[in-house]
Amino acid sequence: MNILFINSIGKDKFGGGEKWMVNAASSLSARDHNVMLASKKNSRILQYAEKKGVKTYVIEIHSDISPFKTFQISRWLNKNKIDILICNLNKDVRVAGLAAKIAGTPVVLARHGMLLCSKKWKHKLTLTKLTDGIITNSNTIQKTYAGYGWFPTDFVKVIYNGIVIPEDVEQVDFQARFPGKKIIYSAGRLSEQKGFNYLIEAAQILRKKRNDLVFFVSGEGKLASILQKQVDDAGLRESFVFEGFAGDIFPYLKGCDLFVLASLFEGMPNVVMEAMAMAKPVVATDVNGARELMQDGKTGLIVPPSDPESMASAILGIIDDTLLLEEMGALGKQRVAQHFSMENMSENLEKHLREMLRGKKPSNDKRLEKKETVPSSPGQHAAKNIL
């Protein structure tokens, strides 16, 4: 199959959805498909994809409607005989999805790592007219979309995220920097969605009871200065640290004592999966996918969103129980290995894509075979500026 992933997220943004696309592209490439990933020039997702050996292209989509860009993409899709286009953002569907329909691309899919579709007419029009289906990562999102009454049965397909558990991770030595302290780690964009303001409030509650906890956050974003001011005003400068962006958080996860997710909404939170893969217990808010990924009380604790008191109480309830932390971490790692492996995700994704393409093409189409002749393409480690 000739597959193009397109993701027009801001060039400095990189989160779970972007990591999923790169991992999906890489795993499908390993299964002998011709896979490409397109995004904005010099974007983090393209840089990450190139490191993973994924073929990359530059496609700039800046608005919901762009007739000339749609025309350009349509010509390129046709020239490269793309079988399947997988779009990330709604504007990707509107511009590239329309281009695919013009080009006669057999299958167009939207990938929703969180609730990207609300009950608005433009979402209904976009997704029912320009795509053949939606891939999501949690049953809660599927059920929400089913409630809209727009989509046929099986239009929304749940494929759980997968993860490669890295070997030989060298953990960050937090004790060298914070001797005698217990490290509560979190990571994500510094945006309202991630709920770091509530995590700061939880830290403030706990600081009144003890002084041996350090909250350490990897991430950057538009709320950086606002959140830092909240930390300073709360007198937490020494015990709540914003470290900035980290391309690889596994060393931090391995070195911490507990991971906390404070998000207000998510899809299937990759960062929780990564924490569990590093055998760390998790305190997470009750967002989409959390209960499908975690086992409350076994691999960690689930608390209500926007509730710093509950979050502080959950942290306090387990942070001093070394045996419980180890048990929760071990069960979490085991759960990820059994149910959320990259191999499982790749197999389920490939099967779904084949089924979608089989429904659009004659059964003797050679592009459904495992090995295929692929069109000429640029080197795997340099993005080609095409559009």
pLDDT tens per residue, range 110-161: 999 888 888 889 999 999 999 999 999 999 899 999 999 999 989 999 999 9
CB 71 within 8 A of CB 99: yes
Which residues neighbour 366 within 8 Å (Cβ) at sequence distance 6 or greater?
Answer: 372
Condensed to tens digits (0 to 9), the pLDDT of residues 248-307 reads: 999 999 999 999 999 998 888 889 999 999 999 999 999 988 999 999 999 999 999 999
Distance CA 237, CA 378 (A): 48
Return the SS3 of 118: coil
Supply the pTM of this predicted model: 0.80
* Residue ranges matching CATH 3.40.50.2000 in the chain: 2-162+341-385, 174-339
Give me the residue label for tokens 């906390």.
260
| CA gap 52, 48 in Å, rounded | 6
**Phi/psi at 162 (5° precision):** -120, 160
**Of residues 172 and 386, more confidently modeled:** 172
Q: Report angle CA 125, 131, 137 to the nearest 5 degrees.
A: 105
What confidence score (pLDDT) does residue 268 get?
A: 84
Question: What's the pLDDT score for residue 114?
Answer: 83
Written as six digits, the tokens of 34 are 């011709």
Q: Which amino acid is at 343?
A: E
CATH fold of 174-339, please? Answer: Rossmann fold (3.40.50)
Q: Are residues 133 and 312 in contact, defined by beta-carbon separation less than 8 angstroms?
A: no
What per-residue confidence (pLDDT) applies to 50? 95
Q: How far is CA 99 from CA 18, 54, 75, 88, 103, in A?
A: 22, 23, 8, 15, 6
* Cα–Cα distance, 282 to 296 (Å, whole number): 9
Question: What's phi and psi for 57, nearest 5 deg?
Answer: -135, 155
Residue 38 parent element (H or E)? strand 34-39
By the 10 Å C-beta count (0-12 exposed, 13-18 middle, 19+ buried), 303 is classed as: buried
CATH of the domain spanning 2-162+341-385: 3.40.50.2000
Residue 276 in contact with residue 328, Cβ under 8 Å?
Answer: no
Phi and psi at residue 103, to the nearest 5° = -75, -15
CB 50 within 8 A of CB 67: no
